[in-house]
Amino acid sequence: MNVDFGARSVGGGQVVVRITPAGAEFLVRQFTRLLQALEKGLRDEHLFPDAYAARVTSREFRGRQGARMREEVTGAVRRVLAQCRPTEHLLLTPSEVADWFVAAGHAQTTCLTRRRRWQRPLRRNHAIVVLAAIQHHLAHEAMRAPTGVLPPVRSLTL
| 25 in a structural domain | yes
Tens-place pLDDT, residues 93-148: 999 999 999 999 999 988 876 555 555 555 557 888 889 999 998 998 888 877 65
Whether 131 maps to a domain, the answer reads: yes
pLDDT 10s digits, 2-56: 678 888 888 888 999 999 898 899 999 999 999 999 999 888 877 777 777 888 8
Residue 108: C-alpha distances to residues 34, 40, 102, 129, 131 (Å) = 8, 17, 10, 9, 7
Asked whether the CA dihedral 4, 6, 132, 48 is positive or negative, the reply is: negative
CA distance 25 to 28: 5
Whether residue 103 lies inside any domain: the answer is yes
- Number of separate domains in the chain: 1
Give a yes or no: residue 61 inside a domain: no
**Which structural domain range is residue 80 located in?**
2-41+73-157
d(CA 151, CA 90): 11
Give all strands of the β-sheet with 154-157 in edge-to-edge order: 87-92, 14-19, 2-11, 154-157
Q: Would the pLDDT of 158 be above 80?
A: no
